[in-house]
Amino acid sequence: MTGSIALLGQPNSGKSTIYNNLTGARQHVGNWAGKTVEKNEGSFTYNGVKYTVTDLPGSYGLSGNSDEEIITTDFIKSGKSELTVVLVDASQLERSMFMLAEFARLDKPAMLVLNMMDVAKDMGKDIDTDALAKKLGIPVLPFNATDTKDYDKLKKLIAEELKKPHRLSVKAPEGKADVKADSKAKFDWVSEILENVTRTRESVYKMSKFDRVMTRPILGKVICIAVVLLAFMVSMIVMLPFAGVGQMIPTLLHEPVDKLLTGWNVHPWIVNIFSMMIPNTLSFTISMASFVLGVNIVFGFLEETGFIARAAYQFDGLLSKLGLQGKAICPMLMGFGCTIGGACGTRVMDNWGQRMLAMSIVWAIPCASIWSIIPVVSGMFFTWWQTMLVCVGILAYVVVSMIIVSKVFGRKLAPMETRSGMIMELPPYHKAHWKHILKEAFFKAWGIFKRALGTVTLVSLIFYVLSFSRDGNVNNSLLYRVGTTIEPVTKFFGMGWQTFVAFLSGAFAKEAVLGTLNAVFMGGNSVMEAAFFSQGTSTDTALLGTAMSQAVSAAEALAFMFATTFSVPCLMALSTTYKESHSLKWTVKVALFYICNALVLSCIVYHVAELFM
Amino acid sequence: MKLTDSTADMQGRILSVGGDDHFMNRITSIGITEGTAFQTVRNDRKMPVLIYLRETLISLNRADAERIEVEAV
């Protein structure tokens, strides 16, 4: 036996918390057919019966013609789910009951969940749920989304209702042609229902201390930036123990596996796959997933307390120029630390289009690894003040790059008509529920680990095949042959085969760039070792600098730095974006754009620099 | 007066909201309808206007707030 339900509620009604707690790990994420709106489906089992749960996209109403509202209305009308669970926020009862007024017109089986009863109680609000149920003709369940005991009551009620569903017995609000009159009719309907159910006390609103500070025009912005940078550091701290264990895998496995397989006379091509590529790929993926864990914990916390909404208030004006909501400031700042963190930090965005656009823009932000490479490479060719200029130039181009990306992809991902300014609620400051945050973060990190491992292994294998050489000499690798063959072309873009190979390895891992330069200019190690054993190889930058400056002109070096900085982020960030967006098409589209953009940029920088240097 | 001309802590009422259907849908579904009582919480230069209405703290960007006529009560 099976049953199916749908969850309907406004943003901030606690819908996703209830969805996650109901379904746990049994979730499937995709997109609604032909739409850039995320589709969440999950299931739970209660008393041996399996129930599927559809989390309908969040919106404030159903009458508008946004994709979210059309999808929701069509889905409910289709009857694909047997019962709609309507969620309202008990602490903002009158306003959030608007959704029920909208739903009433669809006339389908339903039950009502009054979430955040604890907050309502703290506010001194009395709600007579029995009287409300009587008036509406459907069951009403008082609820706290963070109280695990309440879920049993919810599941029990769902099971009962599916056997004998109720429809609203109260007449739906009258439809009016004029939007203004129509909304008024709906709110009048709500007021009528709530009469004698609850009293709204007229009182003067006093901002909390938290809000008084967070909404200050300048201080608020400074705090937002500081908090996100702190959040990045905390994420790193969460990652360290896991990543440490992950890094032990290649160290422990490399030699024994190498010895064992070589002893069996296995071809070195195969030996290296098992002794070097697979252990390191595993280690990379563990580091990535543990960082995702850290980011999800801190962002979960910031979201639940209401911090993200305040950041959105502070930065909306600035980011709306890029077609983004103000909330995007958090993943963007995170991107200066690590693009993986930026990509999974976009979880705070309200819809899929905004998420994908934010991820595409976060890619333009040079991560900490890039900032550790650029000064080193620049130092080989330029004086300290010229290096400063290079960094300033890169920072300036970050802004240009963001604008280009938002122009190219913004129209499709965040259509103009959906961009009409910010109308947003600032939910009251909530205490964080750690158990719930941790549980969700672990689910996410584990999911990313499982799903990314395949992608990462596949791309690693390709890079391995390209960089493999039996004796460690670069000249015997496929990469060398490909690089030298197309050198006439890459030369036009300002890169010789050596810097082009280093540019390619940057798409694999930014940390590999210096090791690759070392391999191609000095032969000190192989490109393969640079890519998979980046922590094991050491680079003497002084010697490398001498070798490089003999082979490469300053203009070429400058072009190379720009190309490396503004190309695609590393493989881990790419696969995080793919897993977070569930869209291979868009990830590839944006990646191709970045590669082309990097080459064109390199070409321009090279030819312009040649005029002056 | 326009909502953007109101001062912090002013108690008022929404007189009229103007704009196309898309805007009207958005603004009314969050609860800003004619006749609703509200309180201006913050109105700083170049920042969104913060109002308290139907037990909710709402942030509106200035361009949208300009389209809302209010009166003090």
β-pairing, A83-89 vs A2-9, is parallel
Q: Which long-range contacts (CB under 8 A, 24 or more apart) does A508-512 make?
A: A508/A459, A508/A460, A508/A463, A508/A570, A508/A571, A509/A284, A509/A534, A509/A570, A509/A571, A509/A572, A510/A367, A510/A369, A510/A370, A510/A373, A510/A564, A510/A569, A510/A570, A511/A369
CA distance A301 to chain B (A): 20
Inform me whether the C-beta atom of residue B44 falls under 8 Å from chain A C-beta atoms: yes
Percentage of residues in chain A with pLDDT exceeding 90?
A: 40
CA distances from A126 to A93, A118, A188 (A): 11, 11, 20
Q: Return all residues near A248 (Cβ < 8 A) that are at least 6 apart.
A: none
Q: What is the mean pLDDT of residues A218-240?
A: 91
Which pLDDT belongs to residue A47? Answer: 92
The string of pLDDT tens digits covering residues A83-114 is 999 999 998 999 999 999 999 999 999 999 99
> Is the confidence at residue A119, as pLDDT, over 70?
yes
Q: Between A604 and A418, where is the model more confident?
A: A604
Q: What is the mean pLDDT of residues A223-252?
A: 88
> Is the confidence at residue A278, as pLDDT, over 90?
no
The model's confidence at residue A421, banded by pLDDT at 50, 70 and 90, is low
The model's confidence at residue A162, banded by pLDDT at 50, 70 and 90, is very high
Q: With contact defined as beta carbons under 8 Å apart, do A413 and A354 qualify?
A: yes
> Is the confidence at residue A536, as pLDDT, over 60?
no
> Is the confidence at residue B7, as pLDDT, over 70?
yes
Q: Which of A86-90, A146-150, A320-324, A380-384 has the highest mean pLDDT?
A: A86-90
Q: What is the mean pLDDT of residues A320-325?
A: 88
> Is the confidence at residue A539, as pLDDT, over 70?
no
Interface touch B59/A426, C-beta < 8 Å: yes
> Is the confidence at residue B46, as pLDDT, over 70?
yes
Q: With contact defined as beta carbons under 8 Å apart, do A357 and A406 qualify?
A: yes
> Domain range spanning residue B65?
3-72
> Is the confidence at residue A569, as pLDDT, over 90?
yes
Q: With contact defined as beta carbons under 8 Å apart, do A36 and A356 qualify?
A: yes
Fold adopted by A2-194: Rossmann fold (3.40.50)
- Nearest by CB to residue A313, choosing from B21, B59, B63, is B59
The string of pLDDT tens digits covering residues A347-360 is 888 788 889 999 99
**Torsion sign over Cα A475, A480, A485, A486:** negative
φ and ψ of B20, to 5 deg: -75, 175
> Is the confidence at residue A209, as pLDDT, over 60?
yes
Q: Between A73 and A444, where is the model more confident?
A: A73
Name which of B39, B53, B59 to mutate to probe chain A: the one with the most chain A Cβ atoms within 10 A of its Cβ.
Answer: B59
Number of domains in chain B: 1
Q: What span, in angstroms and rounded, lies between the C-alpha atoms of A533 and A226?
A: 34
Which pLDDT belongs to residue A306? Answer: 87
Q: Which of residues 1-40 of B touch A (CB under 8 A)?
A: 9, 11, 17, 21-34, 37, 39
The string of pLDDT tens digits covering residues B49-61 is 999 999 899 999 8
Which residues on chain A are in Cβ contact (under 8 Å) with B17? 180
pTM: 0.83
Q: What is the mean pLDDT of residues B13-36?
A: 89
> Is the confidence at residue A424, as pLDDT, over 80?
yes
The residues with which A2 forms a beta bridge, in sequence order, are A50
DSSP string, A245-305: HHHHHHHHHHHHHHHHHHHTT--HHHHHIIIIIHHHHHHHHHHHHHHHHHHHHHHHHHHHH
Among A29-33, A70-74, A100-104, B31-35, the least confident range? A29-33
Which residues on chain B are in Cβ contact (under 8 Å) with A312? 59
Q: What is the CATH number of the domain that holds B37?
A: 2.30.30.90
> Is the confidence at residue A476, as pLDDT, over 60?
yes
The model's confidence at residue A134, banded by pLDDT at 50, 70 and 90, is very high
